[in-house]
A and B are shown apart, each in its own frame.
Chain A
Amino acid sequence: MITILGVPGPLLFGQLLLGLINGAFYAMLSLGLSVIFGLLNIINFAHGALFMMGAFVAWMLLNYLGLGYWWALVLSPLIVGIFGLILERTLIKHLYKLDHLYGLLLTFGLALVIEGLFRNKYGSSGMPYQIPPELEGATNLGFMFLPNYRGWVVFAALIACLGTWLLIEKTKLGALLRAATENAPLVQAFGVNVPRLVTLTYAGGVALAAFAGVLAAPIYSVNPNMGSNFINTVFAVVVIGGMGSIMGSIVTGFSLGVIEGLTKVFYPQASETVIFVVMAIVLLARPAGLFGRTA
């Protein structure tokens, strides 16, 4: 058997792949955060709670309406997206002109309220959600046993990430969004409804979080704290990638997943810390993040 640095090769390859899978979640969540920060200037601390809502809506669709995983994959982001739309219209829109801190406080408070409500109704140990029958089972890759569902998560995440990137960088809508970020009054003068664009952007970012939530539901237990477990790491990913950088979020999301995966082999105790060590180093060397531009 090949060994690399004293670790058997198959184990190492397995960990690399697992890192990629976790990276997929980091990428999807940090992407939504990045889009929202880039266009709205809001540090959306409620992102984790909305991710959790995505998973819960999937669970509710199944248990109250009998709609399975594939329906949930479409409907849950839509429902949570509409919820995000309402949040933006009623609360968040009042904060654009204020300091970042206010947005952070509001969304942090919202996260606590949403998580509290779900905990009150559904308890803290969570709800079971099965893997859809089409994706059950696993494939033997020779060096590891890859559950088909995990393979699907990486694939779906890549599609979602690239789709978002294309939408923002290559379409007319994306061009308008970017223009509105640079100079809102001017874009409005051309007859574009900027507040509506901003609302839709927030809803879109939230829908992305809910989509990740549905993907996560069969892997982790659907519980009210599932978002807060992720959110700190995801913020670190956004900071490392560069606040507001779309490509930065995607690339750092996946690569930090891999770094974390490798740490789990060599020194497991540090696996929760390694991302923050990377963050500290990046902030020292490149304060705007790896892909960020200094304002």
Chain B
Amino acid sequence: MAIARRELIGSMAAAGVASTLPITYARAQAKPKIRIGVLNDMSGPYRDITGMGSVACTQQALQDFGASNKGIEVEVIFGDHQNKPDVGAAIARQWYDQGVDMIVDVPTSSVALAVSAVARQKDKVFMDSGAGTSDLTGKLCNPNTVHVTYDTWMLAHATGAAMVKAGGITWFFITADYAFGHALQRDTSNFVIQAGGKVLGSVNTPFPGTTDFSSYLLQAQASGAKVIGLCNAGTDTINCIKQAHEFGVTKTARIAGLLVFISDIHALGLQIAQGLVLSGTFYWNLNPRTRAFSERVAPKMPGVRPGMAQAGCYAATLHYLKTVAAMGVVEAKRSGAETVARMKAMPMDDDVFGPGSIRADGRAVHPAYLFEVKKPEESKEPWDYYNVLAEIPANEAFRPINEGSCPLVHA
């Protein structure tokens, strides 16, 4: 009896497998579909710089590319990694196993590095836009990862070197006490010193949890430095700038935000943020192309303008879809590394970053800009916040390829 029952169960299971397998197979045969996963912070501190705005920009790329007209079926899904590497890696693994071909965005460096490793392991595509760490295309680079928009090297270089050139020769750093803050301070210090400037001191602030920066700002002011460099992000930066203004620190020193997004400026208001110097690769009101893109995506992002991390998702997705169209959906789904190799071989061109390319180490290169926040009376419309101080050409904006110690680069 017992044996009979086991056989029965066994045959039922076998029948179950047999009956489901051919169906999925048949469905996959009929219409191979490209699946794109937007993975970012939907509920925490980086929600406004990525979040649903990144999803909107990704969908805009589908629309502008005209995927359906070209006979390519594309689906976009999204998820919240809560800024936790374990959560991010688990979602990435699950998505890739369920047929997601490309994951885009992923702010928070620690999560980005984890997802990059999963993409390599599963041989899928990972295009990062939201994270800062330059290790993604440095010593931890891999053939499945592309990094668009920005990185810590670019920010430190653009802001650090340009500020010294503009006369800000003495610096004091207020640094968030974790890997990202330290890396940013180290890189910026190097550029400041190279350009002939001097670092007078720095203070490490506990992260997360610091809300009052006034004592650090007073220490910075007491040092007599001409520039106070903020090696932090999000609410920390906002609070620093707000309190610097309140304590009159801005009267004696210039504030340089090393990582500032346009949503931060919006939260501060121009009255307080005016005069702040920052760098980035995209500003919605930069040129006719960026304006055209922002107008197109506006219905999907009511009341806000896209920031650079969100816009970067558009550029990344568009380039990915162009590559998929060139190599064929079936081929593109087969190997992530091969798709990335094809992406590197094709020049990039989109309304967000303009013409650009992806280097052998996975770094997408395009121009970067040094911005200054406008005075309230200079702003002509909502979100009209920046003046361009300098443009840094694509070949100078990012770390030289031979200095990143990326194993993919055979110098």
Q: Which residues of A are at the interface with B, using a C-beta cutoff of 8 A?
A: 8, 10-11, 14-15, 18, 21-22, 116, 119, 123-128, 130-131, 138, 144-145, 147, 149-150, 219-221, 223, 225-226, 229-230, 232, 261, 264-265, 268-273
A128–B216 CB distance below 8 A: no
Residue B211 interfacial (CB < 8 Å)? yes
Decide if B209 is an interface residue (CB 8 Å cutoff).
yes
CA distance A100 to B27 in the complex (A): 55
Known: A221-B268, A225-B235. 8 other contacts (CB 8 A): A124-B235, A128-B272, A130-B269, A145-B248, A220-B211, A226-B211, A229-B208, A269-B204
Tell me the bound Cα distance from A261 to B205 in angstroms.
13
B263 engages A125 (CB within 8 Å): yes
Contact between B271 and A130, CB atoms less than 8 A apart: yes
Give the Cβ gap from A227 to chain B, nearest Cβ, in Å.
10
One digit per residue, 1 when the CB lies within 8 angstroms of any chain A CB and 0 when it does not, for chain B 153-194 equals 000000000000000000000000100000000000000000
Task: Identify which of B48, B49, B177, B248 contacts A269 (C-beta below 8 A).
Answer: B177
B216 touches A268 (CB 8 A): yes
B267 in contact with A229 (CB, 8 Å): no
Stretch of B126-134, B237-245, B277-285, B329-337 lying at the A interface: B237-245
> Which candidate, B8-16, B38-46, B109-117, is the interface stretch facing chain A?
B38-46
Chain A residues near B219: list those with CB within 8 A.
Answer: 11, 265
In whole angstroms, how far apart are the Cα atoms of A125 and B48 in the complex?
6
CB neighbours (8 Å) of B49 from chain A are 125
B218 touches A11 (CB 8 A): yes
User: Given the complex of chains A and B, what is the CA–CA distance between A149 and B47 in angstroms?
Assistant: 31
Q: Mark B231-272, 1 if CB is under 8 A from A, else 0.
A: 000110011001100111000000000000001101111011
Question: How far is B222's CA from A261's CA once the two chains are assembled, in angstroms?
Answer: 16
Q: Which of B203, B211, B234 contacts A125 (CB 8 A)?
A: B234
Size bracket of the B interface: 35 or more
The 4 A-B residue pairs with the shortest CB-CB distance in the complex, in nearest-first order:
A128-B269, A272-B206, A125-B267, A264-B215
What is the chain B residue whose CB lies nearest that of A222? B267
**Chain A residues near B274 (CB, 8 Å)?**
none
Expressed in whole angstroms, the Cα–Cα distance for A138 and B243 within the complex equals: 12
Tell me if B212 is interfacial: C-beta within 8 Å of chain A: yes
CB pair A125–B218 under 8 Å, yes or no, is no
CB of A268 within 8 A of CB of B205, answer yes
Knowing A116-B43, A125-B263, A219-B243, say if A264 contacts B216 (CB, 8 Å). yes
Interface check B210, CB cutoff 8 A = yes
Task: Please give the distance in Å from B181's CB to the nearest CB on chain A.
Answer: 12
Residue of chain A at shortest CB distance from B215? A264
CB distance from A2 to the nearest CB of B (A): 14
Across the interface, A14 reaches (CB within 8 A) one of B43, B47, B206, B218, namely: B218
Give the docked Cα–Cα distance between A271 and B210 (Å).
9
B248:A124 contact, CB within 8 angstroms: no
Inter-chain contact A18/B235, CB cutoff 8 Å: no
B211 near A147: Cβ-Cβ < 8 Å: no
- A residues in contact with B209, CB < 8 Å: 229, 232, 272
**Residues of A with C-beta under 8 A to B44:** 124
Contact between chains at B267 and A15 (CB < 8 Å): no
Q: Which residue of B lies closest to A226 (CB)?
A: B211
Q: When the two chains form their complex, are residues A265 and B267 in contact, meaning their CB atoms are under 8 A apart?
A: no
> In the bound complex, how far is the Cα of B201 from the Cα of A11, in angstroms?
15
Q: Which residue of A lies closest to B210 (CB)?
A: A272
Interface residues in B315-361 (C-beta closer than 8 Å to A): none
**In the assembly, what is the distance between CA of A119 and CA of B242, in Å?**
21
Give Cα A128–Cα B242 distance, bound, in whole angstroms: 9
Q: Is the CB of A15 within 8 A of B218?
A: yes
Instruction: Provide the B378-406 mask, 1 if CB < 8 A to any CB of A, else 0.
Output: 00000000000000000000000000000
Q: Is B242 a contact partner of A147 (Cβ separation < 8 A)?
A: no
> In the bound complex, how far is the Cα of B205 from the Cα of A177, in angstroms?
43
Give which listed residue, A10, A124, A138, contacts B46 with CB less than 8 A. Answer: A124
Task: Report 26 cross-chain contacts, Cβ distance below 8 Å, ordered by A residue.
Answer: A21-B214, A119-B47, A123-B263, A124-B44, A124-B45, A124-B235, A125-B49, A125-B235, A125-B266, A125-B267, A126-B235, A128-B267, A128-B268, A138-B248, A147-B248, A226-B211, A230-B211, A232-B209, A264-B216, A268-B203, A268-B204, A268-B216, A269-B177, A270-B206, A271-B205, A272-B206
